[in-house]
Amino acid sequence: MQTISLLLLLICATCRIASSIKDGLLPNGNFEYGPKPSEMKGTKVVSPKAIPNWEISGVVEYIKSGQKQGDMLLIVPEGAFAVRLGNDALIKQTMKVIKGMFYSLTFSAARTCAQEERLNVSVSPNYEKNDYGLFPIQTMYSSNGWDSYAWAFQADEPLIEISIHNPGVEEDAACGPLIDSVALKTLYPPKRTPANLLKNGNFEEGPYIFPNTSWGVLIPPHIEDDHSPLPGWIIESLKAVKYIDSEHFSVPEGKRAIELVAGKESALAQVVKTTIGRSYVLSFTVGDANNACEGSMVVEAFAGKNTVKASYQSKGKGGFKRAILAFKAESSRTRIMFYSTFYTMKSDNSGSLCGPVLDDVKLLSVRKLHHV
């Protein structure tokens, strides 16, 4: 009897470790469990292991929702607590993962008082290259000041350490971004199918979106494209695209889509193998996310040197239309690319950037173009 219960206990213990790699929040990923009062000086956390499941260094503050800083009321998107990464502050957590698998990390951040706030997200060990993501968090896209960001990596070991670091040093040591809700999701690299020469054309595979947040996830531009949080796609140019979910936005097809929020400064691209001289049809959906993003919108699509401008008149209430670009391949590799011609701002006086929604992108080889 005792042996059995011990066995059950052991099995349960294994279960709990394994459950830490389920898609969703990291253990204490929303910082709801905080330091003991004896491990804090005011709001500053003074012991490196005071926040359960995390290890910290530098100036880290434990922030309660509703806390005031000057005139600013600090809000917290998930639960009642968050952390603030001040001068040279770092938070890290060790995770059990599957070696060789791809993961995307999503976290929410809000800027506070520093001039130029950015975060350095990294994973170790990382043998192939010094892999990290640098996130400037100057531009706000949501109206409440919080945005969520995604980054992706391949696990080089079954035990990894995920770090979020504020490399900045400000005059006020406590200035720096607030962090909340850190989550991990396993990414399954999608394959081409006979029905679509593009991978992940409907954007269903992508980073974790917090069920309780209504502002989507920003996918920043990638310098190296070998592992994108949006499998198959490269975010080019300077600014992020926004990954949106059907629970909070109008999504033309399936549960996920992309909102092109930064005009020509954020482009979405994929390179596909094509046969020179063969005819292809690129088709895609352009719409709006039902997020008060109104006006004339244009999505420009490129296939190599060929291009089409798909215009869409948005009332900001959701809706979409289909557009196509037929072309003859001039190369064995064709670059498919999309961007929004214009910057658009929400009509709700928030000043937030928004833009057209892109979804359900398909590339097919056709016998003759006039059959389209």
Sites of contact with ligand NAG (CB under 6 A): 78, 120, 122, 130, 132, 134, 167, 211-212
In the bound state with ligand NAG, the residue whose beta carbon lies nearer, of 24 and 263, is: 24
Compute the distance between CA of residue 222 and CA of residue 200 in angstroms, rounded to an integer.
Answer: 17
In the bound state with ligand NAG, the residue whose beta carbon lies nearer, of 19 and 307, is: 19
Shortest Å, Cβ 255 to ligand NAG: 16
Backbone angles phi, psi at 279, to 5 degrees: -95, 140
Candidates 108, 121, 101; CA nearest to 78 is: 108
In the bound state with ligand NAG, the residue whose beta carbon lies nearer, of 120 and 154, is: 120
Shortest Å, Cβ 296 to ligand NAG: 37
Length of the chain: 372
In the bound state with ligand NAG, the residue whose beta carbon lies nearer, of 203 and 210, is: 210
Shortest Å, Cβ 122 to ligand NAG: 4
Per the CB < 8 A criterion, the answer to whether 53 and 35 are in contact is no
- Rounded to 10 degrees, the C-alpha dihedral 288/290/295/297 comes to -10
Residue 129 vs residues 126, 153, 321: alpha-carbon distances, Å: 6, 11, 42
Shortest Å, Cβ 209 to ligand NAG: 11
Shortest Å, Cβ 220 to ligand NAG: 14
Shortest Å, Cβ 160 to ligand NAG: 13
In the bound state with ligand NAG, the residue whose beta carbon lies nearer, of 20 and 120, is: 120
In the bound state with ligand NAG, the residue whose beta carbon lies nearer, of 160 and 357, is: 160
Per the CB < 8 A criterion, the answer to whether 141 and 352 are in contact is yes
Shortest Å, Cβ 157 to ligand NAG: 15
In the bound state with ligand NAG, the residue whose beta carbon lies nearer, of 175 and 292, is: 175
Shortest Å, Cβ 119 to ligand NAG: 9
Per the CB < 8 A criterion, the answer to whether 242 and 344 are in contact is no
- Take residue 88 and report the two structure tokens written for it: 């040279």
**CA quadruple 51, 55, 60, 63: dihedral positive or negative?**
negative
In the bound state with ligand NAG, the residue whose beta carbon lies nearer, of 119 and 197, is: 119
Task: Return the beta strands (E) in 172-251 as ranges.
Answer: 178-187, 217-219, 234-237, 241-245
Check residue 225 and report its DSSP letter.
-
| DSSP string computed for 236-304 | EESS-EEEEETTTS--SSSSEEEE--SGGGEEEEEEEE--TT-EEEEEEEEEE-SSS-EEEEEEEEEET
Shortest Å, Cβ 163 to ligand NAG: 7
- Rounded to 10 degrees, the C-alpha dihedral 326/331/336/341 comes to -80
> CA angle 17-219-85, nearest 5°?
65
Per the CB < 8 A criterion, the answer to whether 197 and 191 are in contact is no
In the bound state with ligand NAG, the residue whose beta carbon lies nearer, of 100 and 211, is: 211
